[in-house]
């Protein structure tokens, strides 16, 4: 088995950082639905503006919300752009048929386009 990109939310804007919270990443429900990502799913977060990277899990946020919580909040600032990515282990057969889902996001964290 090999590990491949499963889903990605591309260049969402951070709307909040909350250090005094039990760690996680709050994600807008419409972005979760469009990407197929689920609450409690492990994700990697890549900060486009400062180069920080971290691994955490998703919780469902409010409409338009993308917020780093707990220690992860120290890895970004409101207004910075992030990429949220999940990965899946695939067999040789699954690799040939796999297409990741990529959600391109507008400046206000709305779904602009879904690929895959």
Residues carrying an active site annotation:
24, 57
Strands (E) across the chain are located at 2-13, 16-18, 24-27, 42-47, 53-60, 66-69, 81-90, 101-105, 111-115
Tokens of 10: 């591309």
């Amino acid at each position: 088995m090999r590990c491949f990109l499963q889903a990605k939310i591309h260049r969402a804007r951070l709307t909040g950082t909350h250090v005094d919270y039990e760690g996680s990443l709050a994600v807008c429900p419409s972005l979760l639905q469009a990407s197929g990502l689920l609450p409690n799913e492990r994700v990697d977060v890549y900060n486009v503006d400062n180069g920080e990277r971290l691994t955490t899990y998703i919780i469902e946020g409010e409409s338009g919300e993308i917020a780093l919580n707990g220690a992860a909040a120290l890895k970004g600032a409101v207004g910075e752009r992030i990429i949220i990515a999940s990965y899946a282990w695939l067999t040789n057969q699954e690799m040939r048929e796999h297409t990741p889902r990529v959600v391109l996001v507008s400046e206000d964290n709305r779904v602009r386009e879904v690929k895959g």
